[in-house]
Amino acid sequence: MNRFHVFVLLAMAAVFPARAAEEKPAQHAEDNPLVVDAAAQEQLGIAIATVAAQAETTEIKAPGEVKANAYATVLVSPRVAAQVVRRQAKLGDAVIAGQPLVTLSSVEVAEAQGALIVAERDWQRVKALGADAVSAKRYTEAQVARDQANAKLRAFGLASAEISALLRTGSSRANGDFSLLAPQAGRVTTDDFVVGERVEPGKPLFTLVDESRVWVEAQMTPAALEGVASDAPARIVAHGQSVDGKVIQRSHRTQESTRTSFVRIEVPNTGDLFHAGEFVETFIASTGSEAVLAVPSEAIAQLQGQSVVFKLVAANRFEVAPVETGATRGTTTRVTKGLSEGDRIAVKGAYALKARLLKSQLGEGHAD
């Protein structure tokens, strides 16, 4: 018998241990390559886990549209009738929180600025005299008048720095000019106004969007939506790249025109890859109702064309267990035959065990 035939017979014996036991005596523990103590398991990177039934996960492909993250979007508008004096930011600019966007001028703001200057000076005089020198009513009235004038300017949208500068410079700054500041960092996505235009309270002058994370709204049939969890993982494919995201919301209403419902996915926008309004492909994880046995794909090895796993049958002792496999989903493979729930197998290090087994068999072949 040549060396090749010996190797084949020994490999088949490893796959089918019951048959091998009929043909030759069982190996002693010290000679068994599948007896691996804890220290060797750690060195070989072997990890053991219990096989458990779990709901099978599939990916549903659906068309999606990139949307701005509405929870990270703000409209910048005046709170008082004003005229645009100077633009300080434009469409497409990336701005930081507190950055001036536009300078406005308002008669109402000028009156409020003047009222604050007067109220502040009156309050400073009364405070210098002290509560003992003036009546309690006069003291309180001066303080309240100053606070109310300050609050009115804040209500008009003036920043604390502008109010402080007004009080330092006095009446020379009571000209009605003030700036609208960026309430957050983001990108200017709309700026629908012109210099010199009179704008009413509430008219949006800028839209600021934090584009670090965007939304993708995928359209799905109600039947497909049933298996999608509110925090299910998803993949977004665009511009030749695949980016991982997560479902954050599911629609509870079906659109009459399309008979579909949307799933909202949040995805990081690293490198400004996504832009609102563009269409992308989405792949959303969906969990079925049937429980199946699935193991990490790296737990499955091939011996003589047969799929096998290494089952832990005693302390530090593994056996080769032939299995039949089904579909692979992501990093797991379904096992249709050969394993039972509760079996303990090597989920990492299967190829290290296979190498030990084949090395042992080659050594026996040389001995023959």
Residues 101 and 183 both lie in one domain: yes
Each residue of 32-75: pLDDT tens digit? 889 999 999 999 999 999 998 876 667 889 999 999 999 999 99
pTM: 0.61
How distant, in Å, are the alpha carbons of 19, 338, 359 from that of 306? 15, 12, 18
Each residue of 112-161: pLDDT tens digit? 999 999 999 999 999 999 888 899 999 999 999 999 999 999 999 999 99
* Number of structural domains in the chain: 3
Residues with Cβ within 8 Å of residue 319, at least 6 apart in sequence = 17, 34, 310, 311, 313
> How many Å separate Cα 299 from the centre of its chain?
29
Residues 201 and 79 both lie in one domain: yes
Residue 97 placed within a domain: yes
Residues 126 and 85 both lie in one domain: yes
Stretch (H or E) spanning 126: helix 107-129
Please tell me the distance from the alpha carbon of residue 273 to that of residue 131, in angstroms, as a whole number: 64
Residues 205 and 107 both lie in one domain: yes
Residues 86 and 167 both lie in one domain: yes
Q: Which domain holds residue 343?
A: 3-51+300-367
Q: Is 104 helix (H, G, I), strand (E, B) or coil?
A: strand
How distant, in Å, are the alpha carbons of 74, 105, 117, 176, 207 from that of 81? 20, 9, 21, 11, 19
CATH code at 181? Answer: 2.40.50.100
Residue 215 token pair: 């939304």
Each residue of 300-324: pLDDT tens digit? 999 989 999 999 999 889 999 999 9
> Position 356: which residue type?
R
